[in-house]
Structure 1
Amino acid sequence: MSESAEVSAREEDPFETGALREAVLRAWRDSPTRLTEDTNVEHDLRVGAYRDRLFVELAQNAADAALTAGTPGTVRVSVVDGELRFANTGAPLDAPGVEALSSLRASAKQAGTVGQFGVGFAAVLAVSTEPRVISRTGGVAFSESRTREAIGTAGDVPVLRLPWPVDEQPPEGFDTEVRLPLLAAIDPDDLLDRLAVEVEDLLLALPWLARFEVDGVVWTRSEVDGEVVLATPEDVRRWLTRSGPGWLWAVPVEDGPVPLERDVLHAPTPTDERLSLPARLIASVPLEPSRRRLLPDAGAALEAAARGYPELVRALPPDDRLTLVPKAGFPLSEADGRLREFVVRQLTEQPWLPAAGGGELAGSGARVLGVESPVLIGLLAPIVPRLVTACGPEPARVLAAVGAERLDLPELIEMLTGVDRPPPWWRSLFDELQTLLEAHAVSADDLGALPVPLADGRTVPGPRGALLFGGELLELLARAEVTGLRLVHPDAAHPLLLRLGASRAEAAEVLDAPALREAVDRSVEDAQSGLDILPLVEAVLRLASEASASGLGALALPASDGWRRADELVLPTSPILEVLDPDALEGDGPLSVLDADFADEWPAETLTRVGVLDGFVVTEGEIRDLDLVADDAWPQALRLLAGQRETWQALTGPAGQWLARNAVLAGRAPEDWRLPDASALAGLYDPVPDVGVRLDVLAAVGVRAELTVADLDDAADLLDRLGDQARTIAPGLTSRAYAAVVDADLEWPDLDPPERVRALDGTVLDAEDAAVLDRPWLIAVWPSAGLVATAPGRAETLAELLDVPLLSELVSARVPDDGEYVPWSELTAITMVAELLDIPVPDGGVVVHEELVVEVDGVKHAAPWWVQSGSFHGEQHAEDTPFGLARAFSWATGRWSDRHLITALLEDPDPAASLA
């Protein structure tokens, strides 16, 4: 062969596939069993080792091409003319790559690459028997049919042994493209959907891929401050990573880490080794040829990766680190069990836990406080060695797996016994312990032996019986049988000690003491059992005279019928006695009157401080005992409510709403009346009679000043009033009332439609005989006595809640064709009016009739104006009169509210008419 012929041959077959084919065919001829072996090997790869790994293998090849080229790669996947096309940038196909593609037992991968190209390419056989690899340096094709033809057989043959050159080029911007004519049984959309699920994992596992496009949808990968940022079609996902020789650990992060629940080992792409670790491991580990399972000697690689796990943990903020401690549970695989054992060992031995005193500690030997309290950690750091900043029941449970020791409150209290610290330190300790106690993180029993510093310098175990210094009140408390008190150092005095059994001698604090509260709560029971409770009563009232207190309503006080709770008693001189129902004050009634002689011994202010009533009382924003007011005493009761600042203010809240429906004024609830000057509501509501109550008070308790619909009850009442034939209601008010119901935006399915409704002319009729006017021109063909109307734009909702049809649903009209279509711009009078009112003349026009008559169900009706289609924007018809043209024009221009002015101007086009 001449030199020019050799060059031409190389150009047509740059990878000398002819020689490769000839070598394979010669081997098959020399050893017939070799063909069978190759067929079986390829079959095993297709249905075994590389099943379901099509995209993994192609992505690996693309990543290796990018690595070889030294530039992060781009991948584009699409289906074109029945072919799956996988294009990528990076190093193009070369001769060793072609040899690898056509060999079932060899790979052209280089050190540090995943496998470009090698036996993994057999994964393409799951979807195609005619694959092609097209590169800017040349291309090769494999073909099951051409292979059969080459060896003259109709049986099974290996597809990937005989390469043929192809004269194709990859798409612009890409260096290589794998083209796979899809088998008939393959659904292209399903194939792309499966790839879309895998893309994120592939980008995380293959750092040399930067962009992945699937059927026009793009994923990208970047790295910022140790985090891999994956921009997916849905959102942006971030992974915190740390890596070392042969391993990379990664955990998803949002506002903080998002630990994984289940995953598989990636090497670097998914294997079948299931893992339960909180982070993903991507590692170079020994795998079976299928790349799905670990080899038995993979332990060293796993252990090396585990040594790097604490690096990932330390990369997190201290408060997030515990999320990466493996959870207890059965391993998901043998590899999972081995890897978890290695990871836990590293967390046990390597420092990673922030220590309360500074630095970091390994899990082994660390102490974890069993209650959650960073403040307590700060106080204990100088005292408790090896204490970590993490604290609480859950951190203690988690860290037990890595050898940490749990420190619970009883053990801590024992450690504090005998500790020499200044009183302010103890007060800070009590501050935090009280917070924990109120949060139920600890119990009072846990704190029973809590050391308490005394004023004489001693520290005694247990607060019970200790007294917070209080001067002359000690004598009073002694008479109340509060004895055996020990004085707490004033710099360490704290309310926590009160809750744990100590008492405070100052009035307000003593009134809050748990022991005193318990005595108050059982005082009625004690008095009824014959115990002498007068010393306790005197002590509480004396304290209450010096300090405000709440929650003492259970204190027993004498009443005309025996001992009662203070908050069940009324002062003998209280004005509310005049408005309460007498039955409420007799026998077993909810209230009684305080003994008059006892009341004379104490200031009224002191008695009301412990709950005795001298008027209506506001509790949690509501006024109590309103339900005890006599029906005929409501005007006086309202005057009392208006005369007290707190009750007057409460009328603007739930109390006012309750009164609107439950108070009684002239035999009716306040909301059934209107204010005398609310003439706009005349007919719907009657004016409230003169009951001797100020108008602003009447308004506060629900007497109506305007048309409002607050809830479904309001709506139902208003609809009933509209359907009341005995009422005379102005048409405008009727329309506004229906609009108010619609605008209330309530849960209409919970409202029963009214049986009767009010029509345009004031007629009240059965709802089933009515229709809602939703198109103004339809009024010309329907009697107003059967129409319900409301403000524009509300008709559909009104029809729905009244369960009444829209008029447009009932009317089907025919318009005569005797009119003449005239553009608006050619109607001189219209254009003059438009100029006067600064209304742009619209496009289109109107069909003008000498006399407009529409036919509905065979009956003809004179109509000044009509919209043919029945919609808001249909063909307009109008009689040749100012009335008809004005309505058509105002509708066409969206100036419906100006229709009467436009009519007047059409009748009298003098500019002065618009100003007169």
Structure 2
Amino acid sequence: MAQNAADAAAKAGVPGRVRVQLDGRTLSIANTGAPLDVSGVHALTALRASGKAEAATVGRFGVGFTAVLAVSDDIEFRSTTGSLHLSRDRTREALSEGGIATPNAVRPDRPADADPAAPTFQPPALRLAWPVEARPAPGFDTEVVVRLRADVDAEALLTAMHDEAADLLLELPALQVLRIDDAEFTSVVRELGDGLAELGVTGPDDRRRTWWQFRTPRARWLLPLRDGKPHAAPHDVLRAPTRSDEELSLPALLIADIPMQPDRRRLLPGARVAELASGYADFARALPPGERLVLVPAPGFARSEADGLLREALVRELQTHSWLPVVDTSAGRTESGPADAGTLETVDRSGELGQGIDLDRGAAPTAVPTRASVFPYLTPELARLLDDVVGSLVIPELSDRAHTEALAVLDVHRLGLARLAELSGGVDRPPAWWREWYAALEPFVVDPLTAEELGALAVPLADGRLVTGPRTVVLDDLLEVAIPLHWARLVHPEAAHPLLSRLGARSATAEDLLADPALHADLADHPDDPDLVDAVLRLAAHADPDALPPWLGMIELPDATGELLPADELLLPEAPLYALLVEDAPLGTLSEEVVAEYGTQALRAVGVGWDFGIVAESDPTGPDHHLDDEEAWWAGLPEEPSEFVAVRDLDLVDDIAWPDALHQLLSEPRTRRLLADPDGYTAWWLRRHARLDGIPLGHYRHPRDAEFTGLLPEFAVPGLSHADLEVLRTVLANPERITPDLADALLAALADPANSPEPEVVSRAHRHLAAVADRLDLTELVLPERVRALSGATVAASDAMVLDLPWFGLALPPDRLVFGDQETASGLATLLDLPLVSESVTAEVLGAGLRTSWSAAPLGVVLRQLFSLAPQEGELVLHEDLRVRLSGAATGTVSVPWWRTGTETHVRMPAAVDGTSPAAS
């Protein structure tokens, strides 16, 4: 009946309204639209008769009307053009009155317990029609009045109609109002553009149900909305236009004009079901970009043959047409890379359709799904940067896990990090774009596996190259400008990002880059390469000069005349070193144009002279650094050094400039620390060759050392601090490090009568010399003809002897004795080529004396306490007058207070010590 009402409304071109009322056992169904006409009467009465109650089928006039027979045998069809009465009983009476038999013969299929009196033949109720004068209800063009049979539950029938009302308004768009007793259902359609409409159905409880509706040439599709957001429809049936028994599992309700079997429940065999999918992609394109995948059928088993055919056709339709929203980054893209904010199209929704919702379908371009790509969890930032890199890229809103299944159904190509890394190798973008690219990729690098996928990521270098693999590049976060390095893969500073470090990029400072062996090799082959020199100098401006290798000085730069010279053979204009050098120093002056271009800091860092330069080499193989007297220093080393570092050009310093030169050497940390190395070339050279007033520095004694007072001059240079003097200990005379040169100087000073050292100073000097006698090449020592005696006088060496036994010093004159200490006496004798006293003079103790022991004699106890002696072995011999007879190099008899012969100790003891004289005893 609703279908008939819809047809009538459509025919009349008026909004369709249907009213259903139940009055006792009478059901009234009234509607607006085209009234009954002659053809309608023919349709009502031209249907086939049935031997049983007709099925409740629906359709156009006639076919749909037979549905009333499910509940009634007495119907009135009232219309503004005339009314009819249709009745099974009146038809039977008419047939009887006309002599037409209505047999009651028992039929073969009659149930055995059936009432024999019950008729087996039912005359058709809709075959004959009688005019009546009744008119349809006011406001309606047609009214069908149905008098319910006794076996029909009227309330249940009304409830069933109530349940079907909303669906009927969906299926029959010509109807706008359907009222069942006091319950009213209304539908409203609002066009949204691009073929999309909003269909809202409101029930008696004011609850609104809303669908997006789209018409194609063969079908009408309805997509339910919930809270303003589209959702896939639950499993449903094909509606043609009302519900059939063909089960479907499509994401949208399908209402189609397709041939059905007479009972309107099943499709006619051969019906072209797949054609219903035509235009489905247009439906998807009409939706907001972020909602379009809701129309993709989910994988699963078909619920019917028709369902299987439709699902396959819909997927094929979606796969082969352009509707899938892809990223559009063309708008706002600038030459530098970044797009303006708002470039990516988005969907903005608020409220519900019909209640202020903004249906923003955007202007995002579309693509055929099989030609598009998706990157899982794509971000807007990454999407913008992937423009022209991967072609059609699914928008970020559709790239999360929730849409993975739908995109797989559409056969959209799935991208991974490894593929993005591979594609990046063909990208030509400015460095700033690459930094944004790495920043956009960083959130996706969550573990070592994802980091490994980006192993082939392209990286722009400072020299303009684009290389593959972060593990092959070097980062310097301190550089702010691009410096093209040809010997190292330095990342362009505008592209540098922490992600590169996570992916294996090596961090390097400017110092590391300038110490690279590859640069050393390049400079060795091409020291005058302009590009190489430019890169080195620009990088050196950012480096710590003290941390740079000295071989950078081999780069060639123009001097003031334009001649190319190694950097370490040039001085900066107005360099303070000029004032320290001899007039003919072989050093050029750097071109002022080069200074203006690169600055003094960079030029000094690579070895251009301002103060003293440095020579350095790791694992040196010999004295091949072109330094003054280097071979002599090398020959004196106990073993080859593992590293060589020295101040160069010391031999170019003017002798009168050494006070200032020392100040300069001490003021620079890199040269100051070389002065502090006593074994290094620098300190060695200064000790031997640097002269103050014509005296080598190594022949000056430190102001705080008194060992050589009266022998060596005291070092005195104005303006030096205590700390400076401590550093200079390594280049001044050191009592603990007697070198052959210092030994010569000490011997000469000891032999010089103009000096007046104290005997103790002489003794210490002799002791220091004797201690190193076995380490000196005595053949190279220049022995003076005079030596310093114990008395402090200088005497002829031929008359002197080295005192090795101290008691001989009590018997011989001090002018003939040279003394250091007893332990080193032999070495001193060897060094000075002098005899030992004990080997040159023989002594005999005269008189027997009183023999006792150290513990028995009071004098022994007193002597041990007086001189803090340890317990003594041997006899103690006491003499009232101890006399010794000398022979050999010295003769005569002398009186001495003490003497030692073997283990016997002879002591002269006054009688007052124990009251007994040795003679009396």
TMscore range, shorter length: 0.3 to 0.5
Q: Which has the larger radius of gyration?
A: 2
How does the TM-score come out when normalised to structure 1? 0.44
Higher helix share: 1
TM-score (norm 2): 0.43
